[in-house]
Each structure stands twice: as structure tokens, then as C-alpha cells.
Amino acid sequence: AQSVTQPDIHITVSEGASLELRCNYSYGATPYLFWYVQSPGQGLQLLLKYFSGDTLVQGIKGFEAEFKRSQSSFNLRKPSVHWSDAAEYFCAVGGMDSSYKLIFGSGTRLLVRP
Amino acid sequence: DAGVTQSPTHLIKTRGQQVTLRCSPISGHKSVSWYQQVLGQGPQFIFQYYEKEERGRGNFPDRFSARQFPNYSSELNVNALLLGDSALYLCASSSGQANSPLHFGNGTRLTVT
């Protein structure tokens, strides 16, 4: 079955601290992987995507993610969190023939302590 | 450039009624996808349209239907509304190419009472 698991429902970090959000996926074909961020009452904004090539991808707002095929993971990282990063983060997987049909995880809510 | 625009932003309907949600894609994008996001969950795929044809459908009942117009805008229709249809409905557009990412609008918040 195709699925995305984000094991952490909530994460709280202090401003300036590093961040890692976990994502594990199950997908039968070559996966396309995405991280989206959603602020309250807003739609989803694409942070970064992985299609192929270098397994470490850089995104907007200082975020990066690393694709590890052997672990079926695509964890999101940021070296220093800002208060404005507080939001809900979604990992998603799609395929080459269905990049429009994304399967999303249930999200991780990030809280930032001042 | 304008992003994906959706209307209305909020809607309150009664059980059994019908609703139409609208979406305008980013200029130049020919593909529109619809997602349902229930509170506390990730979005779930409902439909994708490309060049006015349905390309994909998620696991939703026939009460859900959609269409795409020649200008690539799209409508999502839901008939015989149930309380469980209360959700944020997100529209996303893309160029339609295999590796083009989805760009989401801010959604329509539908409340069914």
C-alpha cells in the first residue's frame, strides 16, 4: 500500500535551535517526494521536492531534505529555526506517472519557543 | 503573477444541499487537481483534470464531480452534502508535465450543518 508516515504529531523547538521533521514513505514505484508547509487558514506552500539525482535537496526558507532510499525516508531539516517557521508541515509522495496525485502524511505541527 | 485562486473562501451549507467550488489556476497551467483536507489530517486527492479531461479520481463517492473549462479554470461540485463533507477543499495547478510540482490555492472552507 502507498502511504506516508509522519510519526511526530507535534514538535516544539526553541528559536535558533535546529530542526528535523521525520517522514517515511511506502511507494511501489520510483517516488517523487515533497515537503509542503501550511500556515493557519492558508493553503500549502511547496518547500522543496525530490525527483532524482542528488539526494540532498535545498528548498526555500533555508530548509533542506535528504532522500534515503534504503530507509524509505525523506526527513526535513533546518539548522536554525525562526519564530515565523511555526506552522504545519506535510510530507507527500507521488509517482512519475501521477505526480498530480500526491499521498500526504498527516502532518507535523511545529511550535517555536521564543 | 497571481497564484491559484479559489472562491468562495468560506461556505456554510445544510445537509442534503449541493455546493459548487471554483478554482482558477496559475496562468499557463493546464492541469487542476482537487484535494479534501479534513481537520487534523493531510489532504486527500479527489480529482485531476488536464486539458478539460479527467485524468485521475480518488476514492470519493459519485456525489463528487468536477469539470474544467477551456480557460483551464475548474469547478468542484458536491451533491447531497453530508456532515462529513465539512473540510478545507484545496485546488492545485501545475503545467501537467510529469515532474511539475503542484501549486496550491488557499482553499475553500466548507461547513455542513
B66-101: pLDDT as tens digits: 999 999 999 999 999 999 999 999 999 998 777 788
CA-nearest residue to A52 within chain B is B99
Chain B residues touching A88 at Cβ < 8 A: none
CB B93 within 8 A of CB B4: yes
- pLDDT on residue B63: 97
> Does B38 score more than 90 pLDDT?
yes
Residue of A34, A97, A101 with shortest CB distance to B101: A34
User: Which of A14-18, A40-44, A99-103 has the lowest average pLDDT?
Assistant: A99-103
Residue of B4, B43, B98 with shortest CB distance to A104: B43
Write the DSSP string, B45-63.
Answer: EEEEEETTEEEEE-S--TT
d(CA B24, CA B71) in angstroms, rounded, equals 9
CB A76 within 8 A of CB A6: no
Q: Which positions ≥6 away from B29 have C-beta within 8 Å?
A: B72, B93, B94, B95, B96, B103
> Does A98 score more than 80 pLDDT?
no
